[in-house]
């Protein structure tokens, strides 16, 4: 009779052990998933946010230099190089835009970036210095104002793109924090499960000794 009770008790304990082992195994799989998510978040933060912010900074610097050349066209003693300089800055900007486009873009980012790219490609192309200034007529105020309007719109696009980097970076940071918190919870569960396993092992040893004593 005592042996039958012992077998039933051991069967229940075996089921509990199996359940705990499966939970710990599942926890390990989830932990691996959490680490992968955390790694992806760090990579995305660097490649899609931090690096992109450096692109925006470099683009802004080149756009500012174009603005200076346009707004101070009447101060240029040697204007033969101005158009070439503007073209070089624009090409540099478009190269950075191409690098920007290769990152993971949100829908809002894509919209502002396309608008910015269109301004550089279509609205700020200056074929001849006479579009800005000539010795006979002086500064072409109408054209300069028009170019400045497009530059301000381009700057606005860059500011919005920069703001998106902050917003998306904040989301990535929050997601990473959630992953860390989940890992902490499961780590606590793992400790509890190990304690339970130790108690069960102790009970198995204790009950086995007691049954042996009763048999003897």
pLDDT at position 113 is: 94
Q: Which residue has the higher pLDDT, 80 or 212?
A: 80
Residues composing the chain: 216
| Terminal alpha carbon distance of the chain | 14
144, 70 contact by CB (below 8 A): yes
79, 102 contact by CB (below 8 A): no
Neighbours of 172 (CB within 10 A): 18
The set of residues, in sequence order, having a beta carbon less than 8 Å from that of 3 and lying 6+ positions away, is 211, 215
Name the helix (H) or strand (E) containing 139. Answer: strand 138-139
**How far apart (Å, rounded) are the C-alpha atoms in residues 45 and 118?**
27
Handedness of CA 61, 67, 69, 71 (dihedral sign): negative
Residues 46-71 pLDDT 10s: 556 778 888 899 999 999 999 988 88
Residues 142-174 pLDDT 10s: 888 999 999 999 999 999 998 988 887 777 767
Q: Which two tokens stand for residue 101?
A: 């486009």
Q: Which residue has the higher pLDDT, 35 or 86?
A: 86
| Residue closest to 30 by CA, chosen among 212, 179, 194, 203 | 179
* Percent with pLDDT over 70 in the chain: 55
**How far apart (Å, rounded) are the C-alpha atoms in residues 200 and 13?**
7
**Does 1 have pLDDT greater than 60?**
no
Q: Which two tokens stand for residue 64?
A: 């500012």
**Cα 20 → chain centroid:** 37
Please, which pLDDT band fits residue 91 given cuts at 50, 70 and 90? very high
| Residue closest to 154 by CA, chosen among 30, 59, 69 | 59
The set of residues, in sequence order, having a beta carbon less than 8 Å from that of 92 and lying 6+ positions away, is 58, 62
* Percent with pLDDT over 90 in the chain: 23
pLDDT at position 193 is: 67
pLDDT at position 114 is: 95
**Cα 55 → chain centroid:** 15
């Amino acid at each position: 009779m005592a042996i039958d009770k012992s077998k039933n008790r051991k069967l229940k304990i075996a089921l509990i052990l199996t359940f705990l082992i499966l939970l710990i195994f599942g926890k390990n799989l989830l932990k691996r998933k959490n680490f992968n998510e955390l790694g992806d978040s760090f990579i995305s933060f660097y490649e899609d946010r931090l690096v992109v912010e450096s692109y925006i900074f470099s683009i802004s610097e080149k756009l500012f230099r174009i603005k200076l050349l346009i707004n101070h066209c009447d101060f240029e003693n040697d204007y033969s190089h101005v158009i070439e300089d503007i073209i070089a800055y624009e090409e540099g900007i478009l190269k950075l835009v191409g690098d920007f486009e290769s990152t993971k873009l949100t829908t809002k980012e894509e919209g502002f970036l396309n608008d910015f790219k269109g301004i550089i490609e279509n609205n700020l192309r200056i074929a001849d210095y006479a579009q800005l200034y000539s010795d006979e007529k002086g500064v072409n105020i109408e054209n300069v104002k028009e170019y400045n309007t497009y530059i301000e719109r381009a700057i606005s696009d860059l500011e919005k793109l920069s703001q998106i980097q902050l917003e998306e970076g904040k989301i990535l940071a929050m997601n990473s924090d959630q992953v860390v918190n989940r890992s902490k919870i499961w780590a606590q569960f793992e400790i509890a499960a190990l304690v339970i396993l130790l108690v069960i092992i102790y009970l198995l040893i204790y009950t086995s000794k007691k049954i042996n004593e009763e048999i003897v």
